[in-house]
């Protein structure tokens, strides 16, 4: 579906981000608790082989509704800030295989918490037109205070004077995650959904399921 016009150089990729960033819509029309949540992740092997997985869960109960995987060869090298150009192709292919349109995408990476405010979650949201937000495991940009130790506590993530996300504690005393809006959803809503997806573990159940499936698909 995206064969042909994919950036070849870092310069071209950054230009694409600068051009698409204006298409990000932060209007939030998503129900407080959408019927389903769809997680995405990509696994890699030692020779440019990659496997993407998308898993849709019922929001209440977190049971799997459907899942899809897609294997491919990496077409773009990893570079901080341009990460989406590496994972987007297989992720989009996997998404196209779903029988049901996702209500919201939960990405393994950042959205607005990006140097040019256009991380994977924004890119995926703009290209699919679907609501999307990011839940990163580590900080990429910005500074923040340490959130309180209780699950649900959070601290603003600021970069260059802008609030680009939140550092959210999903379990008592565990390392917090980095939540940021991607497209068609607000930060507060993204944080509430993240908590709904982490009743037991640090990472969202969507990410855990997608991670497991992508690794399995790689072999």
Question: Please, which residues have CB within 8 angstroms of residue 59's CB and are 6 or more apart in sequence?
Answer: 33, 34, 35, 36, 37, 196
HSE of 41 in the Cβ direction (CA atoms, 13 Å)?
26
Interface with DNA: number of residues (CB under 7 A): 26
Candidates 97, 80, 88, 66; CA nearest to 210 is 66
Is residue 176 within 8 Å of residue 170, measured between CB atoms? yes
* Token pair listed for 188: 């507060």
User: Is 184 one of the binding residues for DNA (CB under 7 A)?
Assistant: no
- The nearest distance, CB 66 to DNA, in angstroms, is 22
Is residue 194 within 8 Å of residue 168, measured between CB atoms? yes
Task: Indicate the angle between helix axes 84-96 and 120-128, nearest 10 degrees.
Answer: 40
- Figure out which of the listed residues 41, 53, 105, 206 binds DNA, where binding follows CB under 7 A: 41
Kindly tell me which of 100 and 175 has the beta carbon lying closer to DNA: 175
- Figure out which of the listed residues 109, 142, 165, 176 binds DNA, where binding follows CB under 7 A: 109
Task: In whole angstroms, give the CA distance from residue 34 to residue 119.
Answer: 23
User: Is 84 one of the binding residues for DNA (CB under 7 A)?
Assistant: yes
Q: Of the listed pieces 21-29, 43-51, 167-175, 188-196, which binds DNA according to CB under 7 A?
A: 43-51
Site string for DNA, 130-169 (x = CB under 7 A): ----x-xxxxx-----------------------------
Task: In whole angstroms, give the CA distance from residue 97 to residue 140.
Answer: 31
- The nearest distance, CB 162 to DNA, in angstroms, is 16
- Figure out which of the listed residues 4, 80, 161, 173 binds DNA, where binding follows CB under 7 A: 80
- The nearest distance, CB 137 to DNA, in angstroms, is 3
User: Residues in the site for DNA, rule: CB under 7 A?
Assistant: 41-46, 78, 80-84, 108-110, 114, 119-120, 134, 136-140, 215, 218
């Amino acid at each position: 579906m995206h064969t042909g016009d994919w950036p070849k150089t870092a310069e071209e990729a950054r230009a694409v981000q600068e051009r698409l960033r204006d298409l990000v819509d932060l209007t939030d029309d998503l129900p407080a608790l959408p019927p389903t949540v769809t997680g995405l992740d990509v696994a890699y092997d030692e020779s440019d082989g990659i496997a993407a997985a998308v898993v849709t869960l019922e929001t209440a109960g977190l049971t799997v509704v459907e899942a899809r995987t897609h294997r491919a060869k990496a077409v773009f090298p990893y570079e901080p800030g341009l990460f989406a150009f590496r994972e987007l192709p297989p992720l989009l292919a996997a998404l196209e295989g779903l029988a049901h349109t996702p209500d919201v995408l939960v990405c393994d990476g950042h959205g607005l918490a990006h140097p040019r405010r256009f991380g994977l979650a924004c890119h995926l949201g703009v290209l699919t037109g679907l609501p999307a937000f990011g839940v990163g495991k580590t900080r990429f940009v910005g500074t923040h205070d340490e959130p309180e130790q209780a699950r649900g506590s959070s601290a603003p993530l600021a970069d260059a004077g802008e609030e680009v996300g939140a550092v959210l504690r999903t379990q008592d005393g565990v390392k917090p995650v980095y939540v940021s809006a991607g497209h068609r959803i607000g930060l507060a809503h993204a944080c509430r959904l993240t908590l709904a997806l982490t009743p037991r573990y640090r990472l969202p159940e969507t990410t855990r399921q997608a991670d497991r499936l992508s690794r399995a698909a790689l072999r």
